[in-house]
Structure 1
Amino acid sequence: MEVLTRTAYRKRKRLWRRLFFSSILFLTLGLGAVAAVVSYAYHLEAPSLSVPETTVMYASNEEVIGEFHHGQNRHWIPLEHMSDAIVEATLAIEDRRFFDHLGFDFFRIGGAVVANLRSGSMAQGASTITQQYARNLYLNHDKTWSRKMDEAFYALRLELHYTKREILEGYLNTIYYGHGAYGIEAAANVYFQKNAEELTKAEAAMLAGIPKGPSIYSPFINPERAKQRQETVLYTMEEAGFITSAQRNEYATEELTFAIDDDVVAKQVAPYFQRTVIEWLRDDLGIDPLVLEHGGLEIHTTLDYELQNNAERFVEEELADRGELQTALVSMDPRNGAVKAMVGGKNFEESNFNRATQARRHPGSAIKPILYYAALEHGFRPNSMLLSEETKFLYNDGADDYNPTNFDKYADDYVTMLQALAVSDNIYAVKTHFLLGFDTLKETARRFGIESEMDTRNPSLALGAFDVGVLEMTKSYSPFANGGHIVEPHFVEKVVDRDGNILYEAEMVGEPALNPELTAIMTNMMEGMFEPDLTSYAAVTGGSLTHMVDRPIAGKSGSNEFNSWMIGYTPQLLTGVWVGYDYGQELQSGDANFSKVIWGKFMEEALKDQEKLEFDVPDNVVEVTINPFNGKLATEECPVQRPTLFYAGTEPTEHCTEHLQDEASVEKELDPHQKTEEEKKDKWLDKIFDWLS
């Protein structure tokens, strides 16, 4: 028996020895395998943390006017911009030992394995924040062992290549909180309409409980369950030492103020403007559409939030009950081309066709300032006179004729260019067009930035018989307002990527292209449309706006049977408004006046708190007071006296004698030879015209 006992003892000893060495071997092999996996994971490049982010569009005052994303509304913010409350609530409920483990919490894993083996399923998880972050970035949410292995490997890579703070920041920026909100910044905005750094403890506890089941714990869907989940989060925060028991009770009873409804979407401000910006970024700047939707860009625009709201409000007020009548409005800073407001139609939801940039319409008499600028270049003056009467114009060597009419009536007398512009005399304009030659207007319009095609064979070009865009026509007036510089309209000041790199920044430099003396003279003439004193045989076209004008302001209206325009400006603001129908329908009674009404209300409101700036007058331009109806120097007896600009050396020298009591004595004082020469000068333009006819 003793021998057998010793034999059994030796067998048991050998067995334990084998077990011991086998354990050492397996442990060594296991550690070697782990080391190999860790080494392999470490030598792989750092996994990308790139996720789709919401692109945000800002007005000039940094007000958010639009957000763009493809199903995932996400705003990436640094951990420093998140409140301590949301960090503590998230750590307490999701991963209390986050800063102590290397991506895996073996205590939670062991407990979850036992629970799942007992239930025969994989219902209970033990994923750490790192593992959840890895799943959100790279994997799906299938509950399979293979996905779990992949999740563990990605979690290891994250832990090896990134700090704990970077992982926590990424997790809080990618986790789904329901209602399209990805990340804590979007969630804070959707549920509480505030930023993540402003969240209270109670609000943070509510949000931290949602990711476990957004469709179950959303306060918009199930307020009772959401409240219960919030209390659970608060309890874990107490257990983790982040809050006291008294604080937990206080936060649990705190009344929360949620957003108005569960489908919170940023108010769509300036939809026509926003679409124009996106199209420009895509087509002109060359930014990939995917980057626009997923890249988390910051697009800083030129839009003035208040001016845009006013523009939309006035359009709605004036045209809401006008059936199919449509409109377009563009307002810009003529000094640099920054577009401040844009309306492309009455209702973007009903029609996203942007009439400000896509429609092509006849500008009518709005083209006349450019025609008369050309006339000034060719020797005309503000007091140059032509006969306004019913006229048949022959052209093409007499083979064709053209019979324009005035909107109101004819003077049947000679009128100055100043008055002809103020009352929009068509005969004067067409005569000027014939005298200059048909190509001159097109060539001059090109210099003002109008690229639309013009048929120079058609004498009606002088009255705006060609198609042009509203934005294009409006910006052509900018040289009048800024002293002869061409500025291109722009909508974007700056584009910044998610890392703070500036991808684009506007250079707002105007190009001198036109004579500043002549643009100043034209501006002075265009102020005349708001001066009722210039009314004689016809009313000034801006008479209905006079009560809205309390500062230096200039402009020109234009209309025909299909279109109505009003374009006007101050030194700091240029606005153009078009009103008409989309499908060639003629304007109805009263329709034509809406362009002026909308323009007038908009400009009055936009400028009410702005400094009253004077238009710049170059040194070699002089101001003399004339009788605007005959172009001569006004005397005290003249009932209408108007200060008018002239190029130095071209101002009139003869005084008006029509209203003097003793005209005979005045005539005696004048040199008879001088009087004859002045009379000849008054008529020379018409003599040239008669000769050309």
Structure 2
Amino acid sequence: MEIMTNQRFRKAGKYFRAIFIISLIGLALTLLIGAGILLYAKILGPPPLAVPQSTLFYSDDGTVIGESHNGQKRYWVELDQISPHLIDATISIEDRKFYSHHGFDYKRIVGALIADIKAMAKVQGASTISQQYARNLFLAHEKTWKRKMLEAFYTIRLEMNYTKKEILEGYLNTIYYGHGAYGAEAASQYYFGKKAGELTLGEAAMLAGIPKGAGIYSPFNSMENAKSRQKLILQTMVENKLIHKTEVDEALNEQLTFVGKHLHTKTKTAPYFQDTVRHILRTELNLDDRVIELGGLKVYTTIDLKQQEIAEQTVKRLISKESEIQTGLVAMDPKNGYVKAMVGGRSYEESPFNRAVQAVRQPGSTIKPLLYYAALEKGFTPSTVMRSEQTTFRFDDGRPDYSPKNFNSQYADGDITMAQALALSDNIFAVKTHLFLGENTLADTAKKFGLTTKMADVPSLALGTSGVRVIEMASAYSILANGGKKVSPVMITRVEDHRGKVIYENDKQSIPILKPESAFVMTQMMTGIFDRKLNGYTSVTGSTIINDISRTYAGKSGTTDTDSWMIGFSPQLVSAVWTGYDKGKAITLSADKSYAKNIWARFMEDAHKGKPSKSFKQPKGTVGVYVNPANGKLATDDCPIKRFTYYVRGTEPTEYCTDHLPYSEEKPSKKEKVAKKPWYKKLFDW
């Protein structure tokens, strides 16, 4: 009997030793694996905390005009911008030991594990805030053991590399609160129409209960469940000594006002402009689409909401609903190139093609100011005369003859000045000037003014037969409007990442590229299209809208068979308007031809309301004199029409007009003294 007992003890001892050794080995392996996991987590370093966030687009006054729309509303805010009540309520109900554990609440894990074993399924969670944050950042939300293991690993990495404050801030900015609202800020705005930092205790307690199950505890789905959850959270806050029990009843009885509307709905404000801004973010700032749409960027733009609304409403009101005419409009501040309004078509929903930026159309006579500026640089003046008559140009190099025509085949059949030729849009004068300067001069000048489309060195280039973009023409005219400084179209002034760090800031400077004197003289010539004193064999091209404008503008209209333009400016604003058919169909109706001018005039007048009427600043080196607009000579008292005209100093006319002397048939020579005769000499001559 004793022998058998000893054998049993020896056998049991062997088992105990084996179990002990195996346990030691298991423990060692566990410690080794754990150490390996920790070491691997340390080697990998901090996991990226980037989460999908809405990118916001702002107007020039800081108003949100749009946001990326991916079905999620998420706006990152710092922890100190979140109500302490919401922070306390969240910790109290989700993870009361948050500040004391290292990512895992082992007591809760054991309890959940027992419940799962009993149910033979994953039925209960014990996730800490750190674990939930890891899941929100990197993992799907299915209840599987694989996901839990990955969640634990990411949790370890978070706890090893980030502070509790950073983890809590990230969690509160990523947790889902239902109805498409991710994070405390988006949820606060949706449910209560206020910032997360402004939440009261009652609001915070209700909001903290929603992530448990948005479909169950959202007040919009069940007010009863929401109030019950709110009460539970307030009670846990008392238990955790975060509030006093007297505050519970006050919070429960608080009258809550629910909004149920996101702060920034998907807006239709300036849709063509917003598309262009996104394109710039991709092509010029080299941001990929994911960053643009989900990176939580703050994009500050140049758009002026008032001017944008005026532009859109003007197009809608003035173009007949029955017409198939399309339009493109760009308004720009000439001082810095800031785009203030953009219309890319009559309906973005019907056609997102942006005719203000993408379309290349023939500019017609709106190219002439660039031609005549080049002529001023080569010695021409507003008084330079050439003959306007039906002309056929023949070339020695084998090129075919070229016979341009004026509108309605009307000609002066005599000399006209460059100032009048511009105002009347005389094509013969333009082609003669173009050929005199050299056919490459206008193409070179167009590049100087910022036009990027290819220009053909042909006689018809003077009449705008090479295509351009609306936005580039607005920019080119801005250079004249600001006195000769090169500006490029600017639509983005600053871009910040989701943390508020500036990743781009516009620093484009205006660079002088034109002679201020010549730019001013050219600008003054362009005011002539609205001045009836320059009427000649036909009316000035702006005559149909003279009565619609109330201040000084400079501008030029242009017409081809398929395109109608009006571009003009004040010292404060440039706008360019194109109208035509998308497929290049000929514009035949007179009403269709007038759209561009009417839209331009109405937009400019409405956009300038309330602004002071400014004149173009005269630079040094220019001089103004009264001339007879018919011949460009100095006007006398006998001239029936006199127009004050500016010249680069030293190029002003020195010869008086003698076309209207009442008693002398002889005209004084150029050598005669340029001075007005006193009355007594006139009497002596008589």
TM-score by length of 1: 0.85
Secondary structure of 2:594's aligned partner: helix
Task: Give 1:563's aligned residue.
Answer: 563
Residues 625 and 643, structure 1, Cα contact 8 Å, conserved in 2: yes
C-alpha separation between the residues in 2 aligned to 1:591 and 1:189?
A: 47
Task: In structure 1, give the amino acid aligned to 2:629.
Answer: P
C-alpha separation between the residues in 2 aligned to 1:210 and 1:658?
A: 90
Could you give the per-residue CA deviations for residues 467-516 of structure 1, whole angstroms, max 9, x where no partner exists?
Answer: 11111222121221122222222322233333444433322223333222
Task: Give 1:53's aligned residue.
Answer: 53
Alignment of 1:285-684 (within 5 A): 285-319=285-319, 321-389=321-389, 391-397=390-396, 399-407=400-408, 409-457=410-458, 459-547=459-547, 549-587=549-587, 588-659=589-660, 663-664=662-663, 671=668, 674=671
C-alpha separation between the residues in 2 aligned to 1:634 and 1:573?
A: 33
Q: Would the alpha carbon gap of residues 577 and 41 (structure 1) be closer, same or farther in structure 2, given more than 3 Å must change?
A: same
Q: Would the alpha carbon gap of residues 408 and 554 (structure 1) be closer, same or farther in structure 2, given more than 3 Å must change?
A: farther
Q: Would the alpha carbon gap of residues 287 and 145 (structure 1) be closer, same or farther in structure 2, given more than 3 Å must change?
A: closer
Q: After TM superposition, give the deviation of residue 556 of structure 1 in Å.
A: 0.8
C-alpha separation between the residues in 2 aligned to 1:493 and 1:262?
A: 26
Q: After TM superposition, give the deviation of residue 355 of structure 1 in Å.
A: 0.6
C-alpha separation between the residues in 2 aligned to 1:192 and 1:552?
A: 50
C-alpha separation between the residues in 1 aligned to 2:567 and 2:583?
A: 23
Secondary structure of 1:368's aligned partner: helix
Residue 37 in structure 1 maps to residue 34 in structure 2: yes
C-alpha separation between the residues in 2 aligned to 1:562 and 1:504?
A: 40
Could you give the per-residue CA deviations for residues 439-469 of structure 1, whole angstroms, max 9, x where no partner exists?
Answer: 3322322222223223333x33222122111
Alignment of 1:141-290 (within 5 A): 141-222=141-222, 225-244=225-244, 247-259=247-259, 265-290=265-290
Could you give the per-residue CA deviations for residues 40-81 of structure 1, whole angstroms, max 9, x where no partner exists?
Answer: 426444431232333333223232223236554432221112
C-alpha separation between the residues in 1 aligned to 2:520 and 2:402?
A: 35
Could you give the per-residue CA deviations for residues 85-116 of structure 1, whole angstroms, max 9, x where no partner exists?
Answer: 32122123212232233323344334434444
Q: Would the alpha carbon gap of residues 502 and 128 (structure 1) be closer, same or farther in structure 2, given more than 3 Å must change?
A: same
Could you give the per-residue CA deviations for residues 528-580 of structure 1, whole angstroms, max 9, x where no partner exists?
Answer: 12223333442222234445544442111112332111111223322111111
Q: After TM superposition, give the deviation of residue 243 of structure 1 in Å.
A: 4.4
Q: Would the alpha carbon gap of residues 365 and 109 (structure 1) be closer, same or farther in structure 2, given more than 3 Å must change?
A: same
Q: After TM superposition, give the deviation of residue 175 of structure 1 in Å.
A: 1.2
C-alpha separation between the residues in 1 aligned to 2:446 and 2:160?
A: 65
Q: Would the alpha carbon gap of residues 72 and 151 (structure 1) be closer, same or farther in structure 2, given more than 3 Å must change?
A: same
Could you give the per-residue CA deviations for residues 612-650 of structure 1, whole angstroms, max 9, x where no partner exists?
Answer: 443232321111122222322223454433221111122
C-alpha separation between the residues in 2 aligned to 1:438 and 1:489?
A: 28
Task: In structure 1, give the amino acid aligned to 2:391.
Answer: K
Q: After TM superposition, give the deviation of residue 169 of structure 1 in Å.
A: 0.6
C-alpha separation between the residues in 1 aligned to 2:669 and 2:422?
A: 33
Secondary structure of 2:566's aligned partner: strand
C-alpha separation between the residues in 2 aligned to 1:101 and 1:167?
A: 13
Q: Would the alpha carbon gap of residues 175 and 453 (structure 1) be closer, same or farther in structure 2, given more than 3 Å must change?
A: same
Secondary structure of 1:276's aligned partner: helix
Secondary structure of 2:61's aligned partner: coil
Gaps in structure 1 of 5+ consecutive residues: 678-693
Task: In structure 2, give the amino acid aligned to 1:630.
Answer: N
C-alpha separation between the residues in 1 aligned to 2:577 and 2:427?
A: 21
Task: Give 2:682's aligned residue.
Answer: none
Q: Would the alpha carbon gap of residues 239 and 409 (structure 1) be closer, same or farther in structure 2, given more than 3 Å must change?
A: farther
Task: In structure 2, give the amino acid aligned to 1:509.
Answer: Q
Range with bigger deviation, 502-511 or 326-335 = 502-511
C-alpha separation between the residues in 2 aligned to 1:422 and 1:321?
A: 32
Residues 191 and 258, structure 1, Cα contact 8 Å, conserved in 2: yes
Gaps in structure 2 of 5+ consecutive residues: 675-686
- The alignment-based identity, stated in percent, is 48
Q: Would the alpha carbon gap of residues 153 and 67 (structure 1) be closer, same or farther in structure 2, given more than 3 Å must change?
A: same
Residues 65 and 267, structure 1, Cα contact 8 Å, conserved in 2: yes
Q: After TM superposition, give the deviation of residue 372 of structure 1 in Å.
A: 1.4
Task: In structure 1, give the amino acid aligned to 2:90.
Answer: T
Task: In structure 1, give the amino acid aligned to 2:395.
Answer: N
Range with bigger deviation, 392-401 or 306-315 = 392-401
C-alpha separation between the residues in 1 aligned to 2:159 and 2:310?
A: 53
Residues 53 and 294, structure 2, Cα contact 8 Å, conserved in 1: yes
C-alpha separation between the residues in 1 aligned to 2:544 and 2:219?
A: 55
Residues 388 and 415, structure 2, Cα contact 8 Å, conserved in 1: yes
Range with bigger deviation, 64-73 or 24-33 = 24-33
C-alpha separation between the residues in 2 aligned to 1:650 and 1:430?
A: 23
Q: C-alpha root-mean-square deviation of aligned residues, in Å?
A: 3.7
Q: Would the alpha carbon gap of residues 159 and 261 (structure 1) be closer, same or farther in structure 2, given more than 3 Å must change?
A: closer
Residues 218 and 226, structure 2, Cα contact 8 Å, conserved in 1: yes
Could you give the per-residue CA deviations for residues 238-283 of structure 1, whole angstroms, max 9, x where no partner exists?
Answer: 5444445564444445454444658963323222122222222222
C-alpha separation between the residues in 2 aligned to 1:215 and 1:410?
A: 78
Task: In structure 1, give the amino acid aligned to 2:371.
Answer: L
Q: Would the alpha carbon gap of residues 161 and 399 (structure 1) be closer, same or farther in structure 2, given more than 3 Å must change?
A: closer
C-alpha separation between the residues in 2 aligned to 1:358 and 1:69?
A: 24
Residues 175 and 182, structure 1, Cα contact 8 Å, conserved in 2: yes
Q: Would the alpha carbon gap of residues 149 and 530 (structure 1) be closer, same or farther in structure 2, given more than 3 Å must change?
A: same
C-alpha separation between the residues in 2 aligned to 1:622 and 1:130?
A: 76
Q: After TM superposition, give the deviation of residue 359 of structure 1 in Å.
A: 0.6
Task: Give 2:681's aligned residue.
Answer: none
Residues 46 and 158, structure 1, Cα contact 8 Å, conserved in 2: no
Range with bigger deviation, 420-429 or 345-354 = 420-429
Secondary structure of 2:457's aligned partner: coil
Q: After TM superposition, give the deviation of residue 201 of structure 1 in Å.
A: 3.1
Secondary structure of 1:210's aligned partner: helix
Residues 337 and 508, structure 1, Cα contact 8 Å, conserved in 2: no
Q: Would the alpha carbon gap of residues 435 and 152 (structure 1) be closer, same or farther in structure 2, given more than 3 Å must change?
A: closer
Task: In structure 1, give the amino acid aligned to 2:50.
Answer: S
C-alpha separation between the residues in 2 aligned to 1:637 and 1:204?
A: 86
Task: Give 1:136's aligned residue.
Answer: 136
Residues 358 and 469, structure 2, Cα contact 8 Å, conserved in 1: yes
Residues 186 and 262, structure 2, Cα contact 8 Å, conserved in 1: no
C-alpha separation between the residues in 1 aligned to 2:300 and 2:186?
A: 19
Q: How many residues align?
A: 666
Q: After TM superposition, give the deviation of residue 417 of structure 1 in Å.
A: 1.8
C-alpha separation between the residues in 2 aligned to 1:517 and 1:422?
A: 20
C-alpha separation between the residues in 2 aligned to 1:31 and 1:175?
A: 38
TM-score by length of 2: 0.86
Q: Would the alpha carbon gap of residues 547 and 245 (structure 1) be closer, same or farther in structure 2, given more than 3 Å must change?
A: farther
